[in-house]
Structure 1
Amino acid sequence: MPYLPLRVLVLEDHLFQRSVAVSLLRQLGCHEVLEASNGAEALAILAATGPVDVALCDLQMEGMDGVEFIQRAGGSGQLGAIIIGSGLPCDVRRAVGQMGQSLGLRMLGEVGKPLQAEALGPLLTACLNPLPVELSPLASTGVASEASVRRGLLDQQLEGWYQPKFDLRTGEALGAEVLVRWNHPIKGVLSPAVFLPTVERCGLLDELLFTLMHQALTLQWQARSQGVSLNVAFNLHASQLSNPQLTSQVKQILAQYQTPGCSVTFELTESGLLEVPAVCLENLVRLRMMGCQLSIDDFGAGFSSLQRLCQLPFNEIKLDAEFVRGLAHEPRCSAVISSTLALGHTLGMAVVVEGIETAEQQQALVELGCTQGQGYWHARPMPGADLLRWLQRNDGALGQMGGSQ
């Protein structure tokens, strides 16, 4: 019998189905299996016996249902992860999964009824795998102070990390998104969750952007000397568009490195574009007039109108990774991707799909007609020196390196 060092709590009000779930989890090798008939009973078990690694949670139950249980337990620290086991439609299960994520819970996925070992086993195994380091907010570190962030900027400790974008058909690297990490001299490499809230609160976004531009354009020049032409993409917060000096400062930096605007992209998240004052629109127009590319990031994750997409001078759409994650089991995700590709084609905009993590997702996207993508299947974010070595080592055959970084 396999062995999984997991403590699992089953929430299911139907006695027979609960017995089936408990038996199946034991067959799969789970170390300890607890059971509850509703959310209130589950909370009492957690209070009495301590946290569990996984909760296998039904949604419709008498008394406290699964939705309320997830809300109540979300901030307790008693749940390592949740698997939704329900006979409700998959779109309802998926919505509950998103709710759990917004509460800070690790949602491993959802399974229908009757439970199947083939579906449940891989989710339990995934629970044993730690989250990637770059996605962990290093909560023990807390949010950095203004003084420490200013010192980090002054000492050039905030560094660009680079995640390539690819032609999904040929594997060619088309460019790289510039992310940011704090290379702290004592605490090591810190996630943006540690310092970006402070950067935003203290009005340091422009200073950070210009620091990253100097680093990335130096790297771009080095890549060009290796015979690689690489577009670099910077994340731009919507609030920065209210700075009337933004475009003139960008223009000065581009001139300093003799870099044409067409080799630079600025990515703005959809959620920040609900209202765009005149000065912001002017900055967008001026960036395009300089030849810079404009990308609307996390498309589909917010609620901005399609009218805004038509009004603003973007020429690239980056489709939110959530649609790729649901591609294998949610037909609506496939429909959204296909529709976005058609929309991009009609508007003359490139479409980049984010969050590609498996060969199956890559193949499915190619079959849907996707041509550009980004994700861990191709490459994880890496420091600039590593990117240069990686480009040189792979020498154009980049698509064959899926998942190697």
Structure 2
Amino acid sequence: MKNPSILVLEDEPFQRLIAVTALRQLGLQCIHEAADGAEALARLDACSGVDIVLCDLRMAGMDGAAFLRHASEAGVVRSVILSSEAAPDLRQAIVSMTRSLGLQFLGDLGKPFDMERAAALIARHTPEPATVPVPGQSPDYPSLDDILRGLDQGEFEAWFQPKFHLGSETLQGAEVLARWRHPQHGVLSPSQFLPTMEANDLIDRLFWQLFAQGLALQQDLACTGRRVNLAFNLQPRQLSDQSLAGRIGKALAVAGLPGEGLTFELTETGLLEAPATSLEALVRLRLLGCGLAMDDFGAGYSSLDRLCELPFSQVKLDASFVRKLMIQPRSSAIISSAVALTKSMDMTLVVEGVETAEQRDQLLALGCQVAQGYLFARPQDRDSFLSLLARKGTPGIH
């Protein structure tokens, strides 16, 4: 890949000189510079744009925020590296704005200029925007006929994303996820079949296949005196089915299993679309002893209102707050508030997306207890999950 072209937008001459000199030492040849947003736009217009802009925020004349908006509208910049001494909350807001403008955000360089970090951020630049495949137009999306055949043949499997106690790393249960063991293509992830399933109203059929597999696993564990809580995802249209709770209760009775071993996860945004009959379904599930979790808590706009209205027993904090934990100071305040809120409402808080030991340690310091993420375990098939259960001992119901 050829070296990317870059614009250094910095109003302080000495800082700009340092940046330009360092970039040349990194081997970049096409480097432009400007002292404010208006000058930067003029230079970009003259050179037909650049790949990357190294952008300050506070400048006389047009500031960095206005520049990024104009540059996006003109299509003269593809990627952004932030270089500013502005407060962390302002820098984070610019990150969100940059992404919403359709620009690739490579990272926050900060000040003073760090050549090694600058090289790492520049290396993240991709020369062309990623293309998004469309169902039915890409080999990554199997056909509807193939999906129907897979459902008939029982090729869709329940995989398990474990939940752990942050401190002791004891197993606290698992979320049930869908995988397709395709005879030609191997194990396929949900992104390769769920869009087609959703478009053709097949999610309910997939749910009941995964649900049956989950109950079968719980039955096998019960025979050896073990048990594990399994969480299943429900969609709004399923809640409008008045027979849902009855079918789940009947399946539990036939399997000889308690409702306490099940949790049903619902996204907040999905609940906004749910009809009034959904409340009856949720109440009946709780009467069976099942848990209800609000998934992706904080990702929408009415989380608190829904927690008041609906009978949730668990809250799953959206992974975006963990991803921002080290770069956005306010994320810590939100997480600690979620800890206090769920404790006062006698709910369990599950933190999603924990990937590093540093995140785990900070979450523990904030009072979090239960989490799931790649730091502990990736989604795994039945055999691998049973092996994990054997290593981690007998979990309880949570």
Q: Which of the five TM-score ranges fits, normalised by the shorter chain? A: 0.7 to 0.9
- SS in structure 1 at match of 2:389: helix
TM-fit CA distance, 1:287 = 0.6
Which of residues 152, 158, 161 is equivalent to 1:160? Answer: 158
Match of 2:67 among 65, 68, 73: 65
The yes-or-no answer on 1:332 pairing with 2:306 is no
Moved more, 61-70 or 150-159: 61-70
Q: C-alpha displacement at 1:253, in angstroms? A: 2.6
Matched, 1:383 2:389: no
Give CA deviations for 1:176-196 in whole Å, capped at 9, x if unaligned: 111222333333333322222
Map of 1:256 onto structure 2: 254
| Match among 6, 11, 33 for residue 9 of structure 1 | 6
Q: Under a length normalisation based on structure 2, what TM-score does the superposition of the two structures give?
A: 0.81
Q: SS state of the match for residue 296, structure 1?
A: strand
2:348 to 347, 350, 375: 350
Q: Kindly state the Cα deviation for residue 372 of structure 1 after the two structures are TM-superposed.
A: 0.7
**Which shows bigger deviation, 14-23 or 167-176?**
14-23
Q: 1:321 to 1:35 in 2, by over 3 A?
A: farther
Count how many residue pairs are aligned between Structure 1 and Structure 2. Answer: 378
How many angstroms apart in 1 are the aligned matches of 2:30 and 2:385? 46
Aligned partner letter, 1:65: F
What residue ranges of structure 1 are gaps of 5+ in the alignment?
130-135, 398-405
2:196 pairs with 1:205: no
Residues 156 and 85 of structure 1: CA distance in aligned 2, closer, same or farther (over 3 Å): farther
What's the CA shift string for 1:202-226, capped at 9, x where partnerless?
Answer: 1112111111111222233344456
2: CA distance, partners of 1:259 / 1:117: 60
Aligned residue runs from structure 1 range 66-105, under 5 A: 66-70=68-72, 82-101=80-99
Judge conservation of contact 1:56–1:82 (CA < 8 Å) in 2: yes
**Retained in 1: the 8 A contact 2:268–2:303?**
no
The answer as to whether partners of 1:22 and 1:33 remain within 8 angstroms in 2 is no
- Kindly tell me: are residues 100 and 191 of structure 1, through their superposed partners in 2, closer, same or farther at Cα, counting changes over 3 Å? farther
Could you tell me the TM-score, scaled by structure 1's length?
0.80
Range with greater deviation from structure 2 (110-119 or 292-301): 110-119
Of structures 1 and 2, the one with the larger relative CO (CA 8 A, separation 6+) is 2
CA RMSD of aligned residues (A): 3.5
Task: Select between 331-340 and 176-185 the one with higher mean Cα deviation.
Answer: 176-185
- Alpha-carbon shift at residue 161 of structure 1 (Å): 2.2
**1:23 and 2:25 are equivalent in the alignment:** no
Which secondary structure does the structure 1 equivalent of 2:316 belong to?
A: strand
Deviation string, structure 1 residues 284-321 (Cα, Å, up to 9, x no partner):
00110111110001111100152221110001011111
Corresponding residue of 2:320: 322
Contact 1:94 1:110 in 2 (8 A): no
Matched, 1:232 2:225: no
Structure 1 residues 22 and 190, CA gap change in structure 2 (3 angstroms): farther
Q: 1:231 to 1:138 in 2, by over 3 A?
A: farther
Aligned residue type for 1:193: S
Displacement of 1:334: 0.5
Amino acid at match of 1:325: R
Helix, strand or coil: the match of 1:153? helix
Shift of 1:103: 6.9
Per the alignment, residue 244 of structure 2 pairs with 246
Q: Is 1:374 aligned with 2:372?
A: yes
Deviation at 1:200, TM superposition (A): 1.7
Identity of aligned residues (%): 43
Q: What letter is aligned with 1:357? A: E
What's the CA shift for 1:153? 1.9
Counterpart of 1:289 in structure 2 is 287
Deviation track 1:235-293 (CA, whole Å, cap 9, x = no partner) reads 11122211112112222332333221111111111112236533100000011011111
Q: Is the contact made by 1:293 and 1:314 (CA closer than 8 Å) also made in structure 2?
A: yes
Deviation at 1:355, TM superposition (A): 1.1
Gaps in structure 2 of 5+ consecutive residues? 35-39
Contact 1:71 1:100 in 2 (8 A): no
Contact kept, 8 Å, 2:265 with 2:292, in 1: the verdict is: yes
Q: Is the 2:72–2:102 contact (alpha carbons within 8 Å) kept by the matching residues of 1? A: no
Question: Matched residue of 2:193: which SS?
Answer: helix
What is the rounded CA distance, in whole Å, between the counterparts of 2:299 and 2:351 in structure 1? 13
Are the structure 2 counterparts of residues 394 and 292 from structure 1 closer, same or farther at C-alpha, using a change threshold of 3 Å? Answer: closer
Query: Are residues 1:115 and 2:113 paired?
Result: yes
Aligned AA for 1:338? S
| Aligned partners of 1:357 and 1:377 also within 8 Å | yes
- Asked if structure 1 preserves the Cα contact closer than 8 Å seen for 2:230 and 2:263, the reply is yes
CA contact (8 A) 1:59 1:66 kept: no
| Amino acid corresponding to residue 84 of structure 1 in structure 2 | L
Q: 1:145 to 1:82 in 2, by over 3 A?
A: farther
Provide the rounded CA distance (Å) in 1 between the counterparts of 2:121 and 2:389. Answer: 34
2:268 to 267, 270, 282: 270
**In the alignment, what sits opposite 2:361?**
363
